[in-house]
A and B are shown apart, each in its own frame.
Chain A
Amino acid sequence: MMAWVESFSHALQSTRLSWAVAGGYPWIWPMCETLHFIGMGLLVGIVGILDLRMLGVAREIVPGPLERLIPWAIGGFILNLVTGFLFFAGDPFQYIHNTVFWLKLLFIVLAGLNALAFYVTGIARRVDALRPGEPAPPSAKFIAATSLVLWIGVIYWGRMLPFLGGAF
C-alpha cells in the first residue's frame, strides 16, 4: 500500500500540475486555501444544522425540507476534494509521511460511512417525518453526535497539519 502511495506521489510530483500548485503560479495555493475554507463552511455548516436539529437545537426546524440544502453541502465537499487534491499534488511528500494527514482522511471516510448509515438504516426517513418541535429518536441522536464529532475532527486534523506534522 505505502509503496504504491510512494510511486504515485513520485509520478504526481513530476507533473506540470504539481509544479503549478507548488508555486509555478503563486496565486493557485492561496486561492485553493480560500476555496477550501468556503467548502468547509458549506459542508459542515449545512450538515451541522441537520445534526444540531436532531440533537434538539433549533427544534422547530422540520428536517425533511432542510435536506433540500444537502446538495450544497455535497458541493462544498466536492470543492474540498478538488482543492485538497491540488494541495496534495503540489507537495505529496509533506503529506504521505504525516500521520495527521492520514487521520484526517480516516475521519472523512468515517464521516462518510456515518452518513451512509444514516440513509441506509432508514433513520433518515424517520427524521424526515419529524414534525416541528418533535424530538429525534435516540438512534438519530447518536448518528448526529457522531457526525458533529467527526466533521469537527476533520477540521481539527486539517488545522493541525502544520503543527503536528510539519505540512502547510
Chain B
Amino acid sequence: MDVLRAIEDSGIGIWVRESGSLWSYPTIVFLHAVGLTFVAGVNAAVDLRLLGFAPRLPLASMRGLFPVMWVGFWINALSGIALLIADATTMMVSWVFWVKIAAIVLAVVTLARIRYVLYLDPNAVAAPGGHDTVPPRLKMLAVASLFLWFAAVTAGRLTAYLGAGAVAKGGH
C-alpha cells in the first residue's frame, strides 16, 4: 500500500487529480472516451461484419482498420495509466477495475486472433483471392469480442459505483 500511496502522491498523480486544470483530469477522461470509441467502437463494427451484417464488404478491405484500433488502444492505455496513477490506492484494490483489465486483455487477445485468422493464417480467410465467407470459429471470436468490449466498458463505468472506487467517490 505504501507503494500505491507513493504513486498516487507523485507529481503526475497530484497534477491529474488536484491541479484543477482543464488539461489534467477533464481532458484525460475526454481522451479516454475518444479512445474507447476508436478501439471498442471500430472493433464492434468489424465484429458485426464478421457476424454477417454488411456482407458485401470485402473482409480484406478491413485490414486498414487495425491501425485505427491500435491508435484508440494506445490513447486509452496512456490516458488510463495517468488516471490509474491519480487513483492508485483505490483502483488497484478495486475488484471491478480488475474485471475491466481482464476483459480488455481478453478482448485484445481476441482481436489479435481475429486478425490472424483473417490475414495471416496459411488458410487466411481474407487472403488475396480468398473466399470472403466467415467460418464458424471466426463468428465465435466476433461474439466473444463484442461481449468482452461490452464487459470492459461496463466494468470501467462501474468502477465509480462498485468496489473500492464507490467508497472513495460515493458514486458519480
Contact = CB atoms under 8 A, between A and B. Distances in A.
A150 interface: no
Interface in A144-163: 152, 155-156, 158-160, 162-163
Contact of A41 (B44, B55, B158): B44
Contacts of A64: 56
Nearest to B43: A45
B158 A30 contact: yes
A37 B56 contact: no
Contacts of B55: 65, 68
A45 B56 contact: no
Given A30-B158, A34-B153, A38-B153, A72 B41 contact: no
Contacts of B44: 41-42, 45-46, 72
B33 A160 contact: no
A65 to B, nearest CB: 4
Interface stretch (A1-9, A54-62, A104-112): A54-62
Nearest to A156: B30
A57 B53 contact: no
Interface stretch (B7-15, B58-66, B102-110, B136-144): B58-66
Nearest to B25: A163
B83 interface: no
Interface of B is mostly: helix
Given A37-B33, A41-B36, A57-B64, A30 B54 contact: no
A66 interface: yes
A43 B44 CA distance: 11
Interface residues of B, number: 43
A77 to B, nearest CB: 13
Contact of B153 (A37, A46, A52): A37
29 contacts: A26-B171, A29-B171, A34-B154, A37-B36, A37-B156, A38-B150, A38-B153, A42-B41, A42-B44, A45-B37, A45-B38, A46-B45, A49-B42, A49-B65, A59-B64, A60-B60, A64-B56, A65-B54, A65-B56, A65-B58, A68-B55, A69-B45, A69-B53, A72-B48, A132-B58, A155-B34, A155-B37, A159-B26, A163-B25
Interface of B: 22, 25-26, 29-30, 33-34, 36-38, 40-45, 48-49, 53-58, 60-65, 67-68, 149-150, 153-154, 156-158, 160-161, 171-172
Interface of A: 26, 29-30, 33-34, 37-38, 40-46, 48-49, 52, 57-62, 64-69, 72, 132, 152, 155-156, 158-160, 162-164, 168
